[in-house]
């Protein structure tokens, strides 16, 4: 497998190439925020939601003090399995995992705050979830381009791993 720096370079190059591809498919009048969403999601996916979050990797440490949020993911998801290194399932699984962890933390924090303040935790949770889904529906094109960027960021990583593994196998065969 390529090292973390190589994966980062591939992600940046992939996001750079993705910008003109987005431009080609953009409808007139051009909404540049869609391109920013696509390229930003590609970079975020490759740099922060990498398939290597299932390891004690540079990606894991990029999360700083929040890296421990990914510790359960590391213990549950086997490295290079379909759950961590697939083109579609794995990035969506990481986003769902991240949203679940954020929801759980929100619930814990609001539970603690109920001892000092009057908070309607369930109503607040529903409002936040409803707001997220309402935003996704209202900004459907942004949502679609962000999903495409998240998938592309992971696909660049997985594709590099596949190519590198194939290269190493071919090289070993030639040595024999």
- Give residue-wise pLDDT tens across range 110-142: 999 999 999 999 999 999 999 999 999 999 999
pLDDT on residue 176: 64
- The CA distance from 14 to 105, in Å, is 33
Percentage above 90 pLDDT, the chain = 78
Is the distance from CB of 63 to CB of 69 less than 8 angstroms? yes
Mean pLDDT of 36-65: 94
pLDDT on residue 102: 95
Is the distance from CB of 164 to CB of 100 less than 8 angstroms? no
pLDDT on residue 60: 93
In this predicted model, what pLDDT tens digit does every residue of 136-168 receive, in sequence order?
999 999 999 999 999 999 999 999 999 988 887
Is the distance from CB of 151 to CB of 41 less than 8 angstroms? no
Question: CA-CA distances (angstroms) from residue 31 to 35, 60, 63, 139, 151?
Answer: 7, 33, 31, 12, 21
Percentage above 70 pLDDT, the chain = 99
pLDDT band (50, 70, 90) for residue 2: confident
Rg (CA), the chain: 19
Average pLDDT, the chain: 92
Q: Answer with the residue of higher pLDDT: 54 or 97.
A: 97
- The CA distance from 72 to 79, in Å, is 13
Is the distance from CB of 57 to CB of 4 less than 8 angstroms? yes
Q: What is the DSSP letter of 55?
A: S
């Amino acid at each position: 497998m390529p090292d973390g720096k190589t994966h980062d370079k591939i992600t940046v190059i992939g996001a750079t190439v993705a910008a003109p591809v987005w431009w080609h498919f953009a409808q007139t009048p051009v909404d540049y925020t869609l391109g920013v969403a696509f390229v930003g999601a590609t970079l975020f996916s490759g740099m922060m939601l990498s398939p290597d979050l299932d390891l004690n990797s540079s990606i894991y440490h990029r999360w700083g003090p929040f890296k421990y949020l990914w510790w359960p993911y590391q213990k549950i998801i086997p490295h290079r399995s379909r759950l961590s290194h697939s083109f579609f399932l794995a990035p969506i699984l990481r986003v769902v995992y991240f949203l679940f962890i954020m929801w759980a933390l929100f619930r814990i924090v609001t539970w603690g705050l109920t001892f000092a303040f009057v908070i309607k935790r369930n109503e607040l949770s529903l409002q936040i979830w409803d707001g997220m889904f309402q935003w996704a529906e209202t900004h459907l094109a942004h949502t679609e381009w962000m999903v495409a960027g998240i998938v592309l960021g992971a696909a660049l990583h997985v594709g590099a791993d596949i190519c590198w593994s194939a290269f190493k196998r071919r090289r070993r065969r030639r040595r024999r």
